[in-house]
Structure 1
């Protein structure tokens, strides 16, 4: 079941132009890393974005634990946060932290102290978030002169496509397998200082694919390229990618990118469990400063349980194309 875009507070397809909004209606955020020495390719660029979200089958009623926002402030900004599901084991709703984090970011995007910087925006939004929990986050901001700035904490991801090829991908930040870097209400987690930052030139026609790990754990790069190149409408592309990720996550015969990565890192289901139809699935772990032996075993072996193929998760996708303002 797809979440209606009215629940996400953004339309399914939105042209991001800084000329058609007022201060009172800005629902946005853009940022600026340290001044860049990159030479802009051209001026007057902005983002045209489409979004689609499909919650985990067990989390449909609350709309999942991912959150996002899209802004037409300046060149345009897109962001995704993914609540860490293990908080549910402590009777904490994992969606509250991610949703408040995104709401704060959208409110603060044009704050003078943010200085058009993804790091400062992540910091101020994190500081303002009072809900208990934690979340991964990624923010991308476009300068009108064609400079894209990215800030990322954890395993939400972004890929930049140009002429049918992926020319850049973010790298997940993890403490260990299935335990990503995360902003948290607890002092033991990461801050904006631990984020990964990138600045690069973009040009008209480039396509940005951003999403929670529910997308990239279940859809291979060649599938992303195939959909984005065949469907130039960003709303359609985002929908097709989200639906493919959701289908793959529930396919008993699908060897997902997540499962392949787990196997490469030495995690797999024992043969006797495979014989019973059990596959490797996962639940994003929160950071535990000191693990007791029983807790450690639970973290490691808790991923092995009977489930469909792929990795069941919330799926959030934003597809944005660089266009003339």
Structure 2
């Protein structure tokens, strides 16, 4: 199999939290199939108390990422470089987590900052998952234009070989705070087994995360994390939920 024989086939689904004053929510994402690159961002909601649309930074960061991808020369399309270039051109108030992933030469290359992230599933099993970056409980690393904000150099980078048949799940913390990795894996396995396209799988996973987010009694990763931090949070975490699903297939 040559180094150009794999590609991603992608689909996405987004559920914004119920807030009439902010119907777009705080998440943003893109899918650039031409350059085999996908990304998600989650605007930090705390900005809303200062009268700032917390999603505006995330949306501009993702739009600038697409511009950087489209203008990248051959051999220079690396997620960490894209993230850095997008950050340098994002000048609205706010801050955001981000995860950008590209498929090149049969490898995933990833730059991830904060608590968005990805999973790599092979033959129904989760074989790799990104780790969370946070300064303290519920305070993730974030890109922004204030002196206290983190910088793209703080992003974790990954290079992971992939195979045909692999499934990538990329999401914001609205997914990973509300579903354990085993549950995501099982929902994906069941839906894929039914012959669903990536967008349908993304919708199904996002719906499960949403149901958990509004359930005050279900056990969730956010519940566990809050207990470890000495807090008491019962049930899911109401949040925007973005899910991108990518099938790795032969060209």
Name the TM-score, length of structure 2 as normaliser.
0.93
Asked whether the 8 Å contact 1:218–1:256 carries over to 2, the reply is: yes
Which residue of structure 2 lines up, in the alignment, with residue 121 of structure 1?
Answer: 82
Decide which of 239, 248, 252 is 2:216's aligned counterpart.
252
Decide which of 223, 244, 247 is 1:318's aligned counterpart.
244
Gaps spanning 5+ residues in structure 1: where? Answer: 1-39, 269-279, 282-308
Find out whether 1:171 has 2:171 as its counterpart: no
Which residue of structure 1 lines up, in the alignment, with residue 91 of structure 2?
Answer: 130
Which residue of structure 2 lines up, in the alignment, with residue 158 of structure 1?
Answer: 118
Choose 1 or 2 for highest CA Rg: 1
Calculate the aligned-residue CA RMSD, in Å: 1.7
1:232-261 deviation per Cα after TM superposition (whole angstroms, max 9, x unaligned): 221111001111111111112212110111
Find out whether 1:242 has 2:202 as its counterpart: no
Find out whether 1:52 has 2:16 as its counterpart: no
Gaps spanning 5+ residues in structure 2: where? Answer: none
- Output the CA distance in 2 between the equivalents of 1:59 and 1:214: 18
Asked whether the 8 Å contact 1:147–1:201 carries over to 2, the reply is: yes
Which residue of structure 1 lines up, in the alignment, with residue 49 of structure 2?
Answer: 89
For the residue of structure 2 that corresponds to 1:58, the secondary structure is coil
Q: Aligned runs of 1:136-215 on 2, under 5 Å?
A: 136-143=97-104, 145-215=105-175
Find out whether 1:226 has 2:186 as its counterpart: yes
Find out whether 1:264 has 2:225 as its counterpart: no
What is the Cα deviation at residue 42 of structure 1? 5.4
The number of residues matched between the two structures is: 246
Bigger strand share: 2
Which residue of structure 1 lines up, in the alignment, with residue 24 of structure 2?
Answer: 63
